[in-house]
Amino acid sequence: MEPFVSLSGVVAALDRANVDTDQIIPKQFLKRIERTGFGRYLFFDWRFLPDGTPDPAFELNRPEQAGASILLARRNFGCGSSREHAPWALADYGFRVIIAPTFADIFFSNCFQNAMLPIRLDERTVDELFQRAAASHEAGRPYRLSVDLRTQAVADDAGFARSFEVDAFRKTCLLEGLDGIGLSLKHAEAIAAWERNHGLPTAG
Protein backbone atom coordinates (compact mmCIF):
# COMPACT_ATOMS: atom_id res chain seq x y z
CA MET A 1 0.00 0.00 0.00
CA GLU A 2 1.30 3.47 -0.85
CA PRO A 3 2.25 5.44 2.28
CA PHE A 4 0.47 8.67 3.08
CA VAL A 5 2.53 11.39 4.75
CA SER A 6 1.42 14.75 3.38
CA LEU A 7 -0.48 16.16 0.44
CA SER A 8 -1.09 19.52 -1.18
CA GLY A 9 -3.89 19.32 -3.72
CA VAL A 10 -6.96 20.71 -5.39
CA VAL A 11 -10.23 20.37 -3.48
CA ALA A 12 -13.42 19.03 -5.05
CA ALA A 13 -16.34 20.47 -3.07
CA LEU A 14 -19.28 18.05 -3.13
CA ASP A 15 -21.99 19.95 -1.26
CA ARG A 16 -24.20 16.96 -0.48
CA ALA A 17 -25.02 15.07 2.70
CA ASN A 18 -25.73 11.34 3.10
CA VAL A 19 -23.82 10.34 -0.03
CA ASP A 20 -24.19 6.57 -0.02
CA THR A 21 -21.97 3.93 -1.55
CA ASP A 22 -24.39 3.24 -4.42
CA GLN A 23 -24.03 6.86 -5.46
CA ILE A 24 -20.26 6.64 -5.11
CA ILE A 25 -20.08 3.49 -7.28
CA PRO A 26 -23.39 2.16 -8.69
CA LYS A 27 -24.03 -1.55 -8.30
CA GLN A 28 -23.88 -2.32 -12.04
CA PHE A 29 -20.13 -1.64 -11.98
CA LEU A 30 -19.24 -4.09 -9.21
CA LYS A 31 -18.42 -7.04 -11.46
CA ARG A 32 -14.65 -6.51 -11.42
CA ILE A 33 -12.62 -8.15 -8.66
CA GLU A 34 -9.51 -5.99 -9.13
CA ARG A 35 -9.18 -2.81 -7.09
CA THR A 36 -8.31 -0.73 -10.16
CA GLY A 37 -10.44 0.61 -12.98
CA PHE A 38 -13.35 1.88 -10.90
CA GLY A 39 -12.46 5.57 -11.07
CA ARG A 40 -14.19 5.99 -14.42
CA TYR A 41 -17.47 4.97 -12.78
CA LEU A 42 -17.19 7.19 -9.69
CA PHE A 43 -20.44 9.13 -9.10
CA PHE A 44 -21.50 7.79 -12.49
CA ASP A 45 -25.18 8.76 -12.27
CA TRP A 46 -24.23 12.32 -11.30
CA ARG A 47 -21.20 12.79 -13.55
CA PHE A 48 -22.85 11.78 -16.82
CA LEU A 49 -25.99 12.69 -18.75
CA PRO A 50 -28.21 9.93 -20.21
CA ASP A 51 -26.32 10.17 -23.52
CA GLY A 52 -23.04 9.44 -21.76
CA THR A 53 -21.57 12.94 -21.98
CA PRO A 54 -20.28 14.67 -18.82
CA ASP A 55 -22.87 16.74 -17.00
CA PRO A 56 -21.39 20.27 -16.78
CA ALA A 57 -23.52 21.01 -13.71
CA PHE A 58 -21.93 18.28 -11.60
CA GLU A 59 -19.25 19.48 -9.21
CA LEU A 60 -16.43 17.18 -10.28
CA ASN A 61 -16.91 18.14 -13.94
CA ARG A 62 -16.24 21.83 -13.35
CA PRO A 63 -12.83 22.97 -14.65
CA GLU A 64 -11.74 24.53 -11.35
CA GLN A 65 -12.05 21.13 -9.68
CA ALA A 66 -10.15 19.16 -12.32
CA GLY A 67 -7.40 16.92 -10.97
CA ALA A 68 -8.71 17.12 -7.40
CA SER A 69 -7.08 14.87 -4.82
CA ILE A 70 -9.05 16.12 -1.81
CA LEU A 71 -12.81 15.61 -1.57
CA LEU A 72 -14.89 17.89 0.66
CA ALA A 73 -18.36 16.60 1.55
CA ARG A 74 -21.14 16.90 4.09
CA ARG A 75 -22.17 14.63 6.98
CA ASN A 76 -22.62 10.85 6.83
CA PHE A 77 -20.44 10.34 3.78
CA GLY A 78 -20.17 6.72 2.62
CA CYS A 79 -23.39 5.47 4.18
CA GLY A 80 -25.41 2.56 2.75
CA SER A 81 -23.88 -0.79 1.88
CA SER A 82 -20.43 -1.83 3.07
CA ARG A 83 -18.99 -2.35 -0.43
CA GLU A 84 -15.25 -1.73 -0.49
CA HIS A 85 -15.59 -0.77 -4.14
CA ALA A 86 -16.54 2.74 -2.93
CA PRO A 87 -13.09 3.61 -1.58
CA TRP A 88 -11.55 1.71 -4.50
CA ALA A 89 -13.38 4.04 -6.93
CA LEU A 90 -12.45 7.18 -5.00
CA ALA A 91 -8.78 6.17 -4.80
CA ASP A 92 -8.65 5.12 -8.45
CA TYR A 93 -10.10 8.50 -9.45
CA GLY A 94 -7.26 10.19 -7.58
CA PHE A 95 -8.57 11.12 -4.14
CA ARG A 96 -6.21 10.65 -1.19
CA VAL A 97 -8.10 12.74 1.41
CA ILE A 98 -11.81 13.03 2.20
CA ILE A 99 -13.03 15.72 4.59
CA ALA A 100 -16.52 15.59 6.12
CA PRO A 101 -18.20 16.11 9.50
CA THR A 102 -19.06 12.42 9.82
CA PHE A 103 -18.58 9.17 7.92
CA ALA A 104 -20.31 5.81 7.90
CA ASP A 105 -18.24 3.54 10.17
CA ILE A 106 -17.41 0.76 7.68
CA PHE A 107 -16.57 3.21 4.91
CA PHE A 108 -14.35 5.15 7.32
CA SER A 109 -12.38 2.00 8.17
CA ASN A 110 -12.13 0.94 4.53
CA CYS A 111 -10.51 4.25 3.60
CA PHE A 112 -7.50 3.51 5.80
CA GLN A 113 -7.15 0.08 4.18
CA ASN A 114 -6.95 1.77 0.78
CA ALA A 115 -4.32 4.45 1.45
CA MET A 116 -6.85 7.25 1.91
CA LEU A 117 -7.14 9.59 4.87
CA PRO A 118 -10.69 10.42 6.01
CA ILE A 119 -10.69 13.58 8.14
CA ARG A 120 -13.56 14.47 10.45
CA LEU A 121 -13.99 18.19 11.07
CA ASP A 122 -16.92 19.84 12.81
CA GLU A 123 -19.83 21.20 10.76
CA ARG A 124 -18.88 24.84 11.27
CA THR A 125 -15.36 24.20 9.99
CA VAL A 126 -16.66 22.26 7.00
CA ASP A 127 -19.05 25.16 6.26
CA GLU A 128 -16.07 27.51 6.25
CA LEU A 129 -14.19 25.26 3.84
CA PHE A 130 -17.16 25.20 1.46
CA GLN A 131 -17.33 28.99 1.61
CA ARG A 132 -13.61 29.32 0.90
CA ALA A 133 -13.89 26.88 -2.00
CA ALA A 134 -16.86 28.78 -3.45
CA ALA A 135 -15.05 32.12 -3.23
CA SER A 136 -12.01 30.67 -4.95
CA HIS A 137 -14.12 29.13 -7.70
CA GLU A 138 -16.00 32.41 -8.26
CA ALA A 139 -12.62 34.03 -8.81
CA GLY A 140 -11.84 31.36 -11.41
CA ARG A 141 -9.25 29.59 -9.31
CA PRO A 142 -9.09 26.07 -7.89
CA TYR A 143 -9.18 25.82 -4.13
CA ARG A 144 -6.20 24.04 -2.59
CA LEU A 145 -5.51 22.55 0.82
CA SER A 146 -2.40 21.08 2.40
CA VAL A 147 -2.73 18.07 4.69
CA ASP A 148 0.05 16.78 6.93
CA LEU A 149 -0.62 13.49 8.68
CA ARG A 150 2.50 13.72 10.83
CA THR A 151 1.32 16.93 12.52
CA GLN A 152 -2.38 16.14 11.96
CA ALA A 153 -2.99 19.54 10.36
CA VAL A 154 -4.95 20.87 7.40
CA ALA A 155 -4.45 24.38 6.02
CA ASP A 156 -4.78 26.63 2.99
CA ASP A 157 -2.60 29.57 1.94
CA ALA A 158 -5.14 32.20 3.06
CA GLY A 159 -5.15 31.81 6.82
CA PHE A 160 -7.17 28.65 7.36
CA ALA A 161 -5.57 26.08 9.68
CA ARG A 162 -7.06 23.29 11.76
CA SER A 163 -5.88 20.17 13.51
CA PHE A 164 -7.66 16.84 13.20
CA GLU A 165 -7.82 13.66 15.23
CA VAL A 166 -6.71 10.28 13.97
CA ASP A 167 -6.28 6.97 15.73
CA ALA A 168 -2.59 6.37 16.51
CA PHE A 169 -2.57 2.84 15.05
CA ARG A 170 -4.25 3.92 11.83
CA LYS A 171 -1.91 6.89 11.56
CA THR A 172 1.12 4.60 11.79
CA CYS A 173 -0.31 2.24 9.18
CA LEU A 174 -0.87 5.10 6.73
CA LEU A 175 2.53 6.65 7.34
CA GLU A 176 4.23 3.29 6.76
CA GLY A 177 1.91 2.14 3.96
CA LEU A 178 0.67 -0.91 5.84
CA ASP A 179 -2.60 -2.67 5.12
CA GLY A 180 -3.65 -5.94 6.76
CA ILE A 181 -1.21 -7.98 4.68
CA GLY A 182 1.62 -5.56 5.29
CA LEU A 183 1.03 -5.71 9.04
CA SER A 184 1.22 -9.49 8.96
CA LEU A 185 4.46 -9.43 6.95
CA LYS A 186 6.07 -7.21 9.59
CA HIS A 187 5.72 -10.16 11.96
CA ALA A 188 6.71 -12.84 9.44
CA GLU A 189 9.64 -14.12 11.54
CA ALA A 190 7.55 -14.37 14.70
CA ILE A 191 4.77 -16.15 12.79
CA ALA A 192 7.27 -18.61 11.29
CA ALA A 193 8.77 -19.27 14.74
CA TRP A 194 5.33 -19.96 16.21
CA GLU A 195 4.56 -22.36 13.35
CA ARG A 196 7.83 -24.22 13.90
CA ASN A 197 7.22 -24.47 17.63
CA HIS A 198 3.80 -25.96 16.99
CA GLY A 199 4.92 -28.41 14.32
CA LEU A 200 3.28 -26.58 11.44
CA PRO A 201 4.78 -26.24 7.96
CA THR A 202 6.07 -22.72 7.30
CA ALA A 203 5.62 -20.76 4.09
CA GLY A 204 8.41 -20.90 1.52
Q: Inform me whether the pLDDT recorded for 188 exceeds 60.
A: no
Average pLDDT of the chain, as a whole number: 91
Can you tell me the mean pLDDT for 161-175? 97
Rounded to an integer, what distance in angstroms lies between the CA atom of residue 20 and that of residue 14? 13
Percent of the chain with pLDDT over 70: 87
Q: Report which of residues 53 and 204 the model is more confident about.
A: 53
Q: Inform me whether the pLDDT recorded for 202 exceeds 70.
A: no
Can you tell me the mean pLDDT for 55-84? 96
Kindly state whether residue 123 falls inside one of the protein's structural domains.
Answer: yes
Report the number of distinct structural domains present in the chain: 1
Rounded to an integer, what distance in angstroms lies between the CA atom of residue 102 and that of residue 180? 24
Instruction: From 78, 94, 66, 75, select the one nearest 24 (Cα to Cα).
Output: 78
Length of the chain: 204
Spell out the residues 6+ positions from residue 37 whose beta carbon is closer than 8 angstroms to its own: 92
Kindly state whether residue 1 falls inside one of the protein's structural domains.
Answer: no
Q: Report which of residues 127 and 186 the model is more confident about.
A: 127
Kindly state whether residue 203 falls inside one of the protein's structural domains.
Answer: no
Segment among 22-26, 33-37, 125-129, 142-146 with least mean pLDDT: 33-37
- 85-93 helix and 105-112 helix, angle to the nearest 10 degrees: 50
Contact status, residue 156 vs residue 162, Cβ threshold 8 Å: no
The CATH number given to whatever domain includes residue 173 is: 3.20.19.10
98: containing domain: 6-197
Can you tell me the mean pLDDT for 114-130? 97
Kindly state whether residue 127 falls inside one of the protein's structural domains.
Answer: yes
Kindly state whether residue 204 falls inside one of the protein's structural domains.
Answer: no
β-bridge pairing 97-100 and 117-120: parallel
Kindly state whether residue 114 falls inside one of the protein's structural domains.
Answer: yes
Rounded to an integer, what distance in angstroms lies between the CA atom of residue 46 and that of residue 25? 11
Q: Looking at residue 191, what is its pLDDT?
A: 56
Instruction: From 195, 66, 71, select the one nearest 141 (Cα to Cα).
Output: 66
Kindly state whether residue 35 falls inside one of the protein's structural domains.
Answer: yes
Kindly state whether residue 59 falls inside one of the protein's structural domains.
Answer: yes
Rounded to an integer, what distance in angstroms lies between the CA atom of residue 31 and that of residue 1? 23
Q: Inform me whether the pLDDT recorded for 183 exceeds 60.
A: no
* Identity of the residue numbered 191: I
The pTM (predicted TM-score) of the whole model is: 0.88
Can you tell me the mean pLDDT for 180-184? 53
Q: Looking at residue 35, what is its pLDDT?
A: 82
Q: Looking at residue 200, what is its pLDDT?
A: 62
Q: Looking at residue 33, what is its pLDDT?
A: 74
Q: Looking at residue 161, what is its pLDDT?
A: 98
